[in-house]
Amino acid sequence: MDKRIKKLTTLSMVLAIAMVLSFIESRMPLSVAIPGVKIGFANIAIVFALYKLGAKEAVCVSVVRVFLVSFLFGNSVSLMYSLAGATLSLILMLVLKKFSLFSELGVSVTGGVAHNIGQILMACVILKTNIIAYYLPFLLLSGTVAGVVIGIISAILIKRIKT
Amino acid sequence: MRSALKNGAEISAPYLSEREGGRSDMKKLNRSIKSDLVLLSVLLLVGLSLLLVTLVFRKEGTLISIEEGGSFVMELGLYENGEYSLADGKNILVIENGEAYMKHADCPDHRCVKMGRVKYRGQRIICLPNEVTVAVGGGGGVDIVS
């Protein structure tokens, strides 16, 4: 089979899964009352892409996902928040993976925490108030716990699924 | 995770991906689990201690200041009971006996309503869609939280 076609198909499938996960998350009733806190199901697909397909591919999936999800289920404001969270989380995950100091779990935890912090930083910019100090403990704790769950799921998938 | 650590070389934690190769790869894997655990404990420790600090040092406020779209709108006393309409009626704030809460929001997620009651200095109710922030202030002394 043509390798490029296979790659395109794999990427599209990972993107589709990431979007479905984002949709499921947006329908979840357990939204916490703190801005920026999320479980981040879509990060499963991103971590998977990062380890199985490569850095460039993970960036592609993440960026396209953010735009498509915001256009479909969100608005311009939610686009700004998602973009800030996704960018910070991607950059940190890429750097950590490069140094290969941590396993998938550590990378995913960093991604989760960074996503939360990126969103709250964007909230600081938009609202022009310093709320980061007040929410930081909650963001660290929730990001860590969510990151562990996501990291374990991603690592199992990375191990089991052949691409 | 614990059994993986105890067994040393025989690492079989289900979440770790298989890596081909001999001992050196196993050592590398072992090291990355350790650094994972260090990262986790540092994050949890920092998070918990920050939480503890905010819980211990929080003080009840006396004022409520309201901002819309990043600009100051008004300041109210925390004992000026009443309902206040914010952002052209998109949000309704209630102040009641030293506590404030968002009673209504026209946005779909209602996070600001779920944020509940605030009364400690530095606490905020934030409505991201309508760009409204309600912050507790006053009470004298240094504001540790924000």
Q: What is the pLDDT of residue A59?
A: 94
Dist. CA B80–CA B98, nearest whole Å:
8
Closest CA to B131 of B65, B63, B83, B67: B67
Question: Minimal Cα–Cα distance from B79 to chain A, Å?
Answer: 23
A11 neighbors A60 (Cβ within 8 angstroms): yes
Dist. CA A122–CA A131, nearest whole Å:
10
Q: Which of A18-27, A106-115, B23-32 has the highest mean pLDDT?
A: A106-115
User: Predicted confidence band at B119 (pLDDT cuts at 50, 70, 90)?
Assistant: confident
List CB contacts (< 8 A) between B46 and chain A: 140
Pairing of strands B82-86, B91-96: antiparallel
pLDDT tens across A139-162, in order? 888 889 999 999 999 999 998 888
Q: What is the pLDDT of residue A18?
A: 94
Dist. CA B59–CA B144, nearest whole Å:
9
Lowest mean pLDDT: which of A32-41, A70-79, B21-30, B47-56? B21-30
Dist. CA B61–CA A1, nearest whole Å:
68
Backbone dihedral angles phi then psi of residue B118, each to the nearest 5 degrees:
-120, 145
Residue A97, phi-psi category: left (phi > 0), alpha (psi -120 to 50), beta (remainder): alpha
pLDDT tens across A68-119, in order? 998 888 778 788 888 999 999 999 999 999 888 888 899 999 999 999 889 8
Dist. CA A108–CA B111, nearest whole Å:
26
Q: What is the pLDDT of residue B144?
A: 47
Name which residue leads in pLDDT, A84 or A29.
A84
How far CA B59 is from CA of A19, A131, B119, in Å, comes to 43, 17, 8
Dist. CA B51–CA A135, nearest whole Å:
9
Q: What is the pLDDT of residue A33?
A: 61
Q: What is the mean pLDDT of residues B73-93?
A: 86
Q: In this structure, what token pair is assigned to residue B107?
A: 């946005």
Q: What is the mean pLDDT of residues A51-78?
A: 89
Q: What is the mean pLDDT of residues B113-121?
A: 83
CB pairs under 8 A between A and B: 122
Lowest mean pLDDT: which of A48-52, A159-163, B135-139? B135-139
Is B15 an 8 Å CB contact of chain A? yes
Dist. CA B7–CA A92, nearest whole Å:
31
Q: Which of A102-106, A120-124, B118-122 has the highest mean pLDDT?
A: A102-106
Dist. CA A66–CA B11, nearest whole Å:
36
Nearest CA in chain A to B52: A137
B95 neighbors B85 (Cβ within 8 angstroms): no
Q: What is the pLDDT of residue B88?
A: 84
Dump strand ranges (E) for B13-129: 63-68, 71-77, 82-86, 91-96, 99-105, 124-127
Q: What is the pLDDT of residue A90?
A: 94
What amino acid is encoded at B139 in this protein? Answer: G
Q: Inform me whether the pLDDT recorded for B146 exceeds 70.
A: no
Average pLDDT value for chain A: 87
Is B5 an 8 Å CB contact of chain A? no
Nearest CA in chain B to A143: B43
Is B50 an 8 Å CB contact of chain A? yes
Average pLDDT value for chain B: 77
Question: DSSP labels for A129-148?
Answer: S--HHHHHHHHHHHHHHHHH
How far CA B26 is from CA of A84, B9, B31, in Å, comes to 36, 7, 9
Question: Minimal Cα–Cα distance from B104 to chain A, Å?
Answer: 14
